[in-house]
Amino acid sequence: MESKIGIIIGREFNERVKKKSFIITTLLTPLLMLALIFAPMLIAGYSEESTKSIVVVDDSNIIAQQLTNTDEISFEQTPLPLEIARTEYNDYYAILHIGRDIVNNPGDACLYTNGVAAMGTEQNIAAQLTLAVQKEKMKQHDIDWQVMQQLNTRIALQSAKNVQETETAESSSTVVASVLAYVLSFILYMFLLLYGVMVMQSVIEEKNNRVLEVLVSTVRPFDMMMGKILGVASVALLQIVIWIIFIGSIAYFVLPQVLPAELLAALEMMKQGVPAAAIEGGEQMGMLQAIMMLSNVKYIGGIIVWLLVFVFGGFLLYAAMFAAVGSAVDSPQDAQQLQTPIMLPIMLALFVMLTVINDPTSNVAFWFSMIPFTSPIVMMARIPYEIPLWEVCLSATLLYATFIAVVWGAGKIYRVGILMHGKKPNIKELLRWMRYK
C-alpha cells in the first residue's frame, strides 16, 4: 500500500518539477523579490530631477528671505502683486503666495502651479515654511533658535531580547520582525492558494479524462488522494528550500561586499559586545540591529524550520479540502461555489495578520494562531517576534491533528465524487457523502 502511494507521489512530483513553469518561477521569483527591494534605491540614486523655479510673493515680508534653494527647488522673490505675478510668471513651475498673517494663520499660504503638481515639492515647500514660521514665533517670545536646536534631541532607541540564561541580551529589531511577518504570511498565503488550487485542478482534469476511474481499480481512492496531496506538497517544499538557499547565499556572499566599511566595522564591534562603539551618531543604529538580527543563525534557522512545518501542515489541510472539491465537480467553473468556504479562512487570516504586526501578543493574535484553518498564516506572522515556544508547538499540533480529521472526511467525499459525473453537488450533499461507509 505504501509503495502505491509512493508511486503516485513520485508521479505528481516529477510531472510538476520537470515543467518549464516550475523552473522559471523557482529561479525568477527570488530575483524579482530582490529587484523589488533594491530597485527603488537604484532609481532614486540614478534619477535626475530638474530644478523647479518658484516665484515667491511674500506679503508678510519676513518669510521669503528664509527660504533656501535646493537641488529640487529654486526660489525667486518678486515685488509684484499676486494677480500680476500669476500672469507674468506663467512660464515658471509655480507662484508661491505667502499671506500677511502667515505667522498667526498657518493656512495663509498657497502654491499656484502652472502644470502638474508634485507632492514631494509641495512637502518640501511646506516644511520650509513651517520652519520659517517657527523661527518667527520664537523671536516673538525671545527664544534663541540655536538653543532650541541643541535641546531638540533625537533618541536612537535600541531594542534587545531579555535573556535570563546568559549575561548579555540578544539584539532584536521590531522593524525586521514586522517585515519578516509580512513576507512569511504572504508566502503562506500564496502557497496555500496556488498549490491548493493546483491539486483541485489536477483532480478535475484527471476525472474528466477518466484516468481516475482506471486508477481506482488498482489503488484505493484514499491512497490516491494522499499520494496526489503529498506529491504536490513535496514540490512546494522543494521550491521553498531552493529559495531559502538562493537568498541565503546572496545575503552571505554579496551583502558583505556592498556594505560600507564603517558599517562592517561597527557590526564587528557589536558582535564583540561593544555596542557603544557602534552607536556613535545613532543614525545607523536601526540598520545595525537589523543586520545583527538577520545574521543570528539561531533566530533565522528557527524561522526556517517553522516555516517548513507550517507550509507543509497548512498545505496538507487545505489540499485535502481542495481535492475533495475537485472530485465532486466536473469543471473549474462548478468548483467556484464549493471552494469559496475554503478560501474564506485563508483571506480572513491575511486580514488578521495586519493586526498581529501591531500587537503579536493580543488575544486576537493568539486565538487565530491556534485555530487550524487560520494558524499557518497568523502563526508565521507571530513567530518572528519570538513568542513562547509552547504556543508555536501547540499551534502546530492542532494543525496536524485537524489535518488528520479533515483528510478522513475529504477522503470519503473523494471516494464518491471521483465516480460521479454530470451532477454538481451542494454542500449538504457533500456532508451526506461523508456519512457513507
Q: pLDDT tens for residues 278-323?
A: 445 444 555 555 566 666 667 778 888 888 888 888 888 888 888 8
Query: What are the angstrom distances between the C-alpha of 280 and each of 58, 171, 261, 274, 354?
Result: 42, 17, 15, 12, 34
pTM: 0.65
Q: pLDDT tens digits for 186-239? A: 878 888 888 888 888 877 777 677 666 566 666 777 777 788 888 888 888 888
| Higher pLDDT among residues 393 and 195, named by residue | 393
Give the separation between CA 168 and CA 346, rounded to whole angstroms: 40
52-141 classified as CATH 3.40.190.10: yes
Q: What residue spans define the domains of the chain?
A: 52-141, 172-434
| Average predicted confidence (pLDDT) for the chain | 76
Q: For 18-22, 278-282, 422-426, which range has the lowest pLDDT when averaged over its residues?
A: 278-282
Q: pLDDT tens digits for 177-187? A: 777 777 778 87
DSSP state of 80: S
pLDDT for 281:
45
Q: For 111-115, 330-334, 385-389, which range has the lowest pLDDT when averaged over its residues?
A: 330-334
Give the end-to-end CA distance of the chain in Å, rounded to a whole number.
20
Is the CB of residue 8 less than 8 Å from the CB of residue 219? Answer: yes
Q: pLDDT tens digits for 57-70? A: 988 888 888 888 88
Task: State the DSSP H helix or E strand holding residue 213, giving kind and residue range, or none if neither.
Answer: helix 211-215
